[in-house]
Structure 1
């Protein structure tokens, strides 16, 4: 549908913002044994908005440029840019953890909790068009990281890592205590490597995202969990030259590798970004 007079009125996009902050931190470490370290810390973070936050292209549709009025209401003025008066994001974070080794096994464990104020959120509308950035009121981030690696034999090694993250609004008048969109709750990565010879090695890796992840902050639409399996092999021709081959997503899983982050999504909205299917790679590495 043609626009009235074929043009959109221009608007002032100038802005002047100034941000200052103070980010103190205090950390303690203790080594009760030679191969074991305990640590704890408390810190204050300060994150001002970027220029991408302070001036955003808005409105339009996925099939037209920013600023285009809604085709159903072409007579309404629709701005192409938004320059919100955003506050800096601040947070107070406490964290603690332990790193240790038991013979051939190394362990890494940590946890943190953040009280976040004015978290910067980049949102989109129901069509996928950008709404620019906004400040949430209060949110909190809680996470746990666990890692385990081991050389099981002289030729066989393995690693597994698990991340738990629970990011939520706190008593938001609209979103309540909903989870923040786009943050998977569980992430598991496991890999193994076997050296067939001193020059030739093979390996496998699994990326697993169990559970569902909210696409929108209203927790009305979710993306399903998924798992992918990769295989790879490397052969060193000499100290400087090696060749490699890799097969990714060998079971050709169908999944959404990421999504648009929106405030209120629709079940029919195009928010899912598809992940790569089965793929094969080969290459040559040369070091100088």
Structure 2
């Protein structure tokens, strides 16, 4: 598998573009104005980065948010086979990340983009505040490397305001280390089932007023199923320079070369008979998703005790080769800038913080489609230029209403434009322009009820313009851009986070009233789909994360952690589907782990992934998956301060199960064939082991 051409030659052009761009600066972190929930910690040593807050500062910011949010330190997953977003975030309640093929996932938060079973929508993905999504909101996540990050921030729903995201699902920000907190040299080697192997080398250091970080990794695997090979190379790097005690600038360079075969979905009977088999049509037509991405950016921060100005610019080049029912061949360029100003002061004698910011971006894609001749190019069937322009302006004011009480008032304005220039008019001119404008207000309340106890509530609105995947449906009877409206929602949320003795928790209860929810339905098993706006739908649920220190004795410990998500997503009086459940996600999803640690550096424990009942895959609610439970075991041993080994055993009982599915309106045989081959098998029994060496 290989790309038809390389992106590497564009690096000099992108760097020149960044040098020509100018922007004010922006940051996504600041110190709390309310009394912290956890005791203050004093850290001595070299001052850290101004542009990249460390994990402790990120956790402090989470405690300022009146809603669901989390920080996941890389230390919680580094001693496992951490390859996908699921491996990183499976213990964050409310995040549903299930594998499709190789490292491609179905990613949803609070039901966002639920019917989008391919690629990404409804969630903003960021690396160090730089968008991973394309400008139209779609995107991929296979260029994410869990080993290259120091922590991950998860902002659910409207709690992602400062990242310029007002989507139902919120945003995820992957944060790379800097020279201030990286190992000087780290080497990691691992391997295991399905001929899987991965190697990573990373380095970082501080040199005078400058610092740097670099991570390079390569992964190769045959995969659990036939026709599931992948070979991926990723590079993450940044270099910063402290211009003064108050001013720092940092440059980023990221590169990914992703090559993955797509084995496709099966019928339920095929999955139960042999989950390792590939869909014959996928093999025959050589289905793949291969892309190269090159991302360069700058972020600059000026920070003083009472105010902060921070911002950045970025440019992203992406090349896609994607043979499916047709060959999708795209070259895209995305540019953007962002800036935020934060001022701490007083209002009526009480602590007050005002934050104002903006994000702007544009994307330009040359999109071509060809007849797929077993992965080779046939006749051209479509050629167009897709342009996306976006702008977001947001403001938030936090005021101490009374001792221990903080009120938050915020809003974001969104402008989005989608312009489609059809350059293959022999089948009719589908050119068109769509413009979307929306306002997303938010009100929040935080109560620090005790030193380690917070209660919160918020009400917010979300606004999500469609992507080009929704607007350019290649199905009979659709001409021009599809008549698709932006998705809107209003969410009410209450919750709590805190600690009490050996117990810690993070809990949210929410209900979202959604209008014009964007719905994808498969027309067959070859990749074709239709898109529509549902009238009214409801998303509601419970998100509960619990950690417990069960026992401590002679330096040994026994701990547990649990993440439980309850999903109740349904149509609301739909003329055709009534109050049926929205398909594609289980009502109950639980992850739990028990962990024993010995002071000699050894740890071991079992874990479980449990879906206690199946869920429908169709709007009619007539075809369901089966319940499943997956048992696993992880262990690691710190041989010395420099050398650590790990073992990660998964699905020990070799359960046959559907990790996720496609979606259909109801079982049928249509113009594209039977539509019931929608079940995507999860991996069978697997064992992985690895070693990390640090200097």
Q: Scaled by the length of structure 2, what TM-score is found? A: 0.36
2:570 pairs, out of 137, 154, 168, with 168
> Is the CA contact 2:431–2:480 (under 8 Å) kept in the aligned structure 1?
no
Gap change, CA 1:227 and 1:57, over 3 Å in 2: farther
> Is the CA contact 1:11–1:79 (under 8 Å) kept in the aligned structure 2?
no
SS in 2 for 1:223: coil
1:247 pairs, out of 649, 653, 656, with 649
Residue 287 of structure 1, CA deviation: 4.7
Cα-to-partner distance string for 1:215-244 (whole Å, 9 max, x where unaligned): 011111111111101111112233343221
> Is the CA contact 1:158–1:193 (under 8 Å) kept in the aligned structure 2?
yes
> Is the CA contact 1:234–1:244 (under 8 Å) kept in the aligned structure 2?
yes
Distance 1:127 1:35 in 2: 51
Give yes or no for the alignment of 1:216 onto 2:633: no
Distance 1:210 1:17 in 2: 43
Distance 2:595 2:431 in 1: 55
Cα-to-partner distance string for 1:108-162 (whole Å, 9 max, x where unaligned): 2210000000001111125554233211111011101122211122321101221
Cross-structure match for 1:56: 473
Matching of residues 141-180 of structure 1 within 5 Å: 141-154=539-552, 155-180=557-582
Cross-structure match for 1:32: 449
> Is the CA contact 2:537–2:570 (under 8 Å) kept in the aligned structure 1?
yes
Matching of residues 107-186 of structure 1 within 5 Å: 107-127=505-525, 129-154=527-552, 155-186=557-588
Distance 1:35 1:197 in 2: 28
SS in 2 for 1:53: helix
2:502 pairs, out of 92, 104, 123, with 104
Give yes or no for the alignment of 1:275 onto 2:694: no
Runs (4 or more) in structure 1 with deviation over 6 Å come to 6-9, 79-82
SS in 2 for 1:215: coil
The runs of 5 or more residues in structure 1 that have no matched partner are 1-5, 59-77
Distance 2:692 2:530 in 1: 42
Gap change, CA 1:40 and 1:57, over 3 Å in 2: same
Cross-structure match for 2:300: none
Give yes or no for the alignment of 1:94 onto 2:94: no
Gap change, CA 1:79 and 1:37, over 3 Å in 2: same
Distance 2:437 2:492 in 1: 22
> Is the CA contact 1:204–1:231 (under 8 Å) kept in the aligned structure 2?
yes
Gap change, CA 1:82 and 1:182, over 3 Å in 2: farther
> Is the CA contact 1:126–1:265 (under 8 Å) kept in the aligned structure 2?
no
Give yes or no for the alignment of 1:17 onto 2:434: yes
Residue 17 of structure 1, CA deviation: 1.0
Cα-to-partner distance string for 1:29-76 (whole Å, 9 max, x where unaligned): 112211211100000101111122222344xxxxxxxxxxxxxxxxxx
Gap change, CA 1:194 and 1:166, over 3 Å in 2: same
Distance 2:660 2:479 in 1: 26
> Is the CA contact 1:237–1:243 (under 8 Å) kept in the aligned structure 2?
yes
The runs of 5 or more residues in structure 2 that have no matched partner are 1-377, 382-425, 669-673
Residue 14 of structure 1, CA deviation: 2.5
2:458 pairs, out of 8, 27, 41, with 41
Distance 1:134 1:224 in 2: 28
> Is the CA contact 1:256–1:273 (under 8 Å) kept in the aligned structure 2?
yes
Residue 276 of structure 1, CA deviation: 0.5
Distance 2:631 2:569 in 1: 27
Q: Over aligned residues, Cα RMSD in angstroms? A: 2.3
Distance 1:79 1:240 in 2: 63
Distance 1:240 1:52 in 2: 48
Gap change, CA 1:117 and 1:31, over 3 Å in 2: same
Residue 197 of structure 1, CA deviation: 3.7
Residue 171 of structure 1, CA deviation: 0.8
Distance 2:687 2:480 in 1: 43
Cross-structure match for 1:226: 628
Distance 2:625 2:480 in 1: 29
> Is the CA contact 2:540–2:567 (under 8 Å) kept in the aligned structure 1?
yes
Residue 98 of structure 1, CA deviation: 1.4
Residue 191 of structure 1, CA deviation: 0.4
> Is the CA contact 1:126–1:264 (under 8 Å) kept in the aligned structure 2?
no
Question: After alignment, is 243-252 or 6-15 more displaced?
Answer: 6-15
The structure carrying a bigger helix percent of its residues is 2
Q: Scaled by the length of structure 1, what TM-score is found? A: 0.85
Distance 1:49 1:124 in 2: 18
